[in-house]
Amino acid sequence: MSTNLRQYVSSLFLLDAVAQRVPDDAWDNTSICAGWSARQVAGHAAWLIKNLGSIAAGDGFIAGEPEAEVLGDRPAETMRKIVDTTLRQLDRPGSLTVNLPTPWGELSVDEFIGEVWLDPVVHAWDLADATGTPHGIDEATAQAALTQFEAMSDEHRGAWELGVAEDPAGDTAIDRLIAFTGRRAIRQ
């Protein structure tokens, strides 16, 4: 298993763990992501995960879906299935060497997941914040993500469509990471 895959797998487990904790009546709560509910944030993250698995399996891109519909009527269960399917697809021989076009040029799946492991981490926080559930992001993961974001060029950062950095609410790595990505908690 590559270092990138190990990091990506950990980030998928973080996101899935948050999804499993979301109360059924909280999926339509407002999130920090402008105009999106918790369901839409999770749907957006799940669509990227599902797409990456499809590409790694050699099946190509999946057509876009409205974020609110990706996880259907049973969002936590569907998130778990998407994560499990993607992990199986990434575990196939040769899956990490498949090339794909990205905002940063053509990359192998392994190189791409070295970038996009940040997405499930940040969206795990978004989903947790929107639904009042624990995010479960440890300080080492938050610091690694922050370090990677801080090292990005402005052009690279622009492809992530991050908000303007905020002042951190505290001094933990998770506080600094979330502030750096332009987020501020909407639920305490």
Residue 134 domain-assigned?
Answer: yes
Predicted pLDDT at 188: 56
CB neighbour list of residue 130: distance below 8 Å, 6 or more residues apart? 26, 29, 30, 31, 32, 37, 38, 41, 186, 187
Predicted pLDDT at 92: 95
Residue 148 domain-assigned?
Answer: yes
Residue 172 domain-assigned?
Answer: yes
Express as a percent the part of the chain with pLDDT over 70.
Answer: 99
pLDDT in tens, 61-75: 998 889 999 999 999
Give me 50's structure tokens: 């599902």
Work out the pLDDT band at 99, boundaries 50, 70, 90. Answer: very high
Residue 186 domain-assigned?
Answer: no
The boundaries of the domain holding residue 130 are 3-180
pLDDT higher than threshold 70 for residue 31: yes
Predicted pLDDT at 105: 87
pLDDT in tens, 154-186: 777 777 778 888 899 999 999 999 999 999 999
Tell me, yes or no, if the pTM score tops 0.85.
yes
Residue 77 domain-assigned?
Answer: yes
Q: How many domains does the chain have?
A: 1
Residue 161 domain-assigned?
Answer: yes
Residue 188 domain-assigned?
Answer: no
What CATH number is attached to the domain comprising 42?
Answer: 1.20.120.450
Residue 185 domain-assigned?
Answer: no
